[in-house]
Every structure is written in structure tokens, then in C-alpha cells.
Amino acid sequence: MIPFLKKKIYRLGDFICGYRIVKLIGEGKFGICYLVTLNEKQYILKKIKAKAIKKSGNKVIFEEEILSSINHPLIPKIVDIIKDDKVYAYILEYKEGKTLEDMLFGCNHVFTSDEIYRIGIKLINIIKYLHERGIVHRDIRLPNVIINKDEVYLIDFGLARWINNKKYSVSVDFSYLGHLLIYLIYSSFKKNNKKSVPWYDELDLSIEERNFLKKLIGLNDEYTNIYEVEKDFLKIKT
């Protein structure tokens, strides 16, 4: 049973069940994330919002259930769960690095084709791991991908669900991946006219790249599984 939580704003230096608040990381639909420390080690504390629990009920525990069922080095593990009448939160591994959102819009990073390929293939491998275990992430966006040198981490499983091929199908992950890759490609784009044209006409893409991205986001048929996605993506690089 999820407890009814009292609303509280946590500040730098506050303690939650022994974990010390270092800073606010961000806020989403279901929770607020803080960087915390315990015994000089850093973690992410994701505090579930009371209104999310009231509105969604047991749906908010999907993240806890799914993350507790998997073990992948590029996905933060749940290391502790706090549930009482004051707070309901997960303690997650802290993955150091910058999100793609920070790199694109904070640092104005220009992604090379090699960088985009490395990020794409690592995300495909993570998606393959999830889909093989019956999980669809449903939120593979720029703020949910962390880059640290050659490592690529996928975070925030608040919208993740068990695949049922009806409401929760694999196609949503393909669509999100396609849009994410398009954002990265646009980082090196320099607009030379004012005319508005679709991305597949505006970007300098090979026929194979264009067809792959259009199929990913459902403009040209749709991929039915991650193995087809991986096969076509590998063809583009070679």
C-alpha cells in the first residue's frame, strides 16, 4: 500500500532517511529527483509526488517493479526504497555525465556522424535488452540519455510498462529513438534559406539514412522488432 504523503520541499542539507540532499536535479510528471549522498557516496533520490500517487494509484510503482527486475550496466539500479507517511522515494545509482539535452542546448555541442552512430548503437542495445524482457521504455528523449565519454546511460523509467502489444507496444520506443537521432543530426545543420521544408528534405542524408529514420518514426511502414532496427542501422554505418 502506498502511503499518503505530506507535501514537503527539500533543500540543500536536508536529510531523508539518512540521505543528505546535495541539489535538485529535475522534476517530472511523477517525481522530483535530487542528488544525495550517504557515506560519501552519491545517489539519485527520486521522490514520488503525492498528487501523482493520488491520481495514478498503483501505476506509479511500475518504475520500481521494472527497475527491480533488470540488471544492466547502462541503466541505473534501484539500491533502496523509502516508504513511510512522509516520503515515498527510490534511491538510484548516480550516473555521472551530461544529458543530451544539456549537451545540445546548454553546451551547443555539435555531434559528429561517428558520435551519433555510437550513441545510436548503444541505445539500440539497451532497447534490445529491455524488449527481450518484455519492457518498453516509452520516454527515450534527450533529457533521459546521459553521456559520459564513451558510455551512454538510459534513465527515467517513470513511463516504462510491460509490453502487451496493445496500449504498450515496441513501436513507441522506435519513434522516440528516431526523433532523438534527428535532433542530434540537426546539431551540425546550418540553415541557408528561410523556406520551411520537412527534415528529410532539409538534412543532408543518404537514401539509406532517410529511409531508416522515416521507418523508425512510422512515416514509411514501421519496424516490428528491435532486431530489424539494429540490422538496418548497422547497414548505414557500413
Same fold, 15-93 and 98-237: no
Which fold does the domain 98-237 belong to in CATH?
Transferase(Phosphotransferase); domain 1 (1.10.510)
CATH 3.30.200.20 applies to domain 15-93: yes
Catalytic-labelled residue, pool 139, 156, 173, 232: 139
Strand (E) positions, the chain?
15-16, 19-27, 31-38, 41-48, 78-83, 88-93, 98-99, 135-136, 145-148, 151-154, 161-162
Which DSSP letter does residue 105 get? I
Side-chain-facing half-sphere of 206: CA atoms under 13 Å: 9
Report the predicted TM-score, pTM, of the whole model to 2 decimal places.
0.90
pLDDT the model gives residue 17: 87
Q: Where are the domains of the chain?
A: 15-93, 98-237
Query: For 67-87, what is each residue's pLDDT tens digit?
Result: 999 999 999 999 999 987 778
Which residues are paired to 47 by β-bridges?
32, 89
In this prediction, residues 32-59 reach a mean pLDDT of 84
Whether 139 sits among the annotated catalytic residues: the reply is yes
